[in-house]
Homo-oligomer: A and B are copies of this chain.
Amino acid sequence: MLLLPFSENEYKIRIRNVKNGMAEQSLDVLVITEPANIYYLCGYDAWSFYTVQALIVFQNAELPIWVGRQVDSTTAHVTTFLPRARIVPYPDVYVQNVDRHASQFVADVILDEFPTAKVIGVEMDAYYYTARDHAELVKSMPNVRFADAELLVNWVRFVKSDAEVAYMRQAGCITELMMDSAVKAAMPGVRECDVAAAIYFAQMSGTETFGGLPSTSPPHMGFGSRAREAHPIFSDRPIAPDSVANIEISGCRLRYHAPMSRTIYFGRPCQRYRDLAAYVIDGIDASLEVVRPGASCEDVELSWAKSLSAHGVKKETRLGYSIGIAYTPTWGERTASLRRGDRTILSPGVAFHLMAGLWLEDTGITITQSFVVTDKGYEALTSTPRELIVKD
C-alpha cells in the first residue's frame, strides 16, 4: 500500500531542485532532519522524529536514503516511493541510550554509500537536529567538511505547486470550520478547555469529503488579561463576562497549514477597542493591496506600518511568515518574513500568514489572513470575514 499525496514525478522534481541547490553550495551529501523537509521530498509521515531520523540526498545517486528507527521503517515502506534498498533502519539499542548514538549509524550509512564524499551539508538550526546529533556526526566522519545547509530545502519549498496550493485551500476550509466552532462554543461561563474541545473536533472531522490532521501547535488562546500574551495555552477556567479572547488556529490537510486568528469580544467593547480593531483591519487591507508578483516582503510590511502609524499604533514583531508543510513545533517555514529588511520577492505560489497581531500593555487583538500569491495579486486561503467578533 502506497499512500503518496503527490505523483512520484513531483517528488523527483523536488529532489532535482534540492540537488541543484546542493551543487550551488558544492555539497556532495545533504543530511535532512527537519520532518517537513523529509515529508516534502519522499512522503515519509510518522510521529517518529523524537528519535534520530534523516533523509540523506547524495549527488552521486538518483534516490535518497531514509534512515530511522527499526519500528518506524514499516511506515517508510508504506508512505514513501523509495525502494526497499533505500530504507535503512537502525536497531532499538540506539534509542535514548547513553552508550550509543544513532548519528553514528547515520555516519556509517553515508560512508558506505559515498566513501569519497568531501563536503556534507547539514541543517544546523533545524528542529530535531540537536547539538549532540551534530557532534556525533562530526566525530564519526573526521575526514569530511561540514557545511551549514540550513533552509536549503525550506527555500525549495517556498514556491508551491498547484497540487500543494489545492491542499492549502482545503486546510483553509478546515480553519474556517474550526473558527466557526470556536465562536459558537465560546461564551461567558463556558470553560476555555471546552472551546478548545470544539476546535479540535472540527479540526479532525474536516468536511464530508476530506478529513483534517492535528496542526503543529495547539490553538493559541488568550482569554481576558491573557490576551496580552502571544502563545498562551488554554486553561479550565470559565470565560469571564465583558472580556476578550484571542484565538490563533490552523487547519491542517496532509501536513499543509492555513492559519488564522480572530479576537472575540464577550460584551460590548469600548470605543477605543473598536478603534483598535478598525486600525488592524485597515492595516491588513493596506498590506494585501501591495501583494503581487514582483513586490517584496518588506513592501507588504511597509504598507501595514504606514497605515497603522496614521493612527499612532506600532507593531514591533514581524507582520507574517511563509507557510506550507509543517510539523510541530511551528507552522512557519522559517524562510521569508514580512518585515523590514526582508527583500525576498513575491512570486506566484508563495504563501504567507499575515499575522496582524497586536499585544499591548493591557490587552491584545489578532485578526489575520493567510494567502497565496497568484499571477496578478493574491488568493485568500480562508474566507472568514476580517472583523472583531462581538458576542453580546
Contact = CB atoms under 8 A, between A and B. Distances in A.
B130 A122 contact: no
Interface string A18-58: 00000000000000000000000000011111100000000
Nearest to A331: B50
A329 B74 CA distance: 20
A292 interface: no
Nearest to A248: B47
Given A131-B129, A231-B47, A329-B49, A92 B206 contact: no
Nearest to A47: B231
A384 interface: no
Interface stretch (A192-200, A269-277, A306-314, A374-382): A192-200
A321 B125 CA distance: 28
Interface in A41-96: 45-50, 69-72, 74-75, 78, 91-92, 95-96
B96 A359 contact: no
A6 interface: no
A236 interface: yes
A232 B46 contact: yes
A318 interface: yes
Given A72-B231, A201-B197, A96 B321 contact: yes
B133 A131 contact: yes
A101 B69 CA distance: 32
A166 to B, nearest CB: 15
B211 A191 contact: yes
Q: Which residue of A134, A198, A204, A230 has the most chain B CB atoms within 10 A of its CB atom?
A: A204
Interface of A: 1, 3, 45-50, 69-72, 74-75, 78, 91-92, 95-97, 101, 122, 124-135, 148, 150, 191-194, 196-198, 200-206, 210-214, 217-218, 220, 225-226, 228-236, 316-318, 321, 328-330, 332, 334, 337, 359
Given A92-B318, A125-B133, 17 more contacts: A46-B232, A47-B217, A50-B330, A71-B317, A78-B232, A95-B317, A127-B130, A129-B130, A131-B134, A193-B205, A197-B200, A197-B201, A197-B202, A197-B203, A200-B201, A200-B214, A211-B235
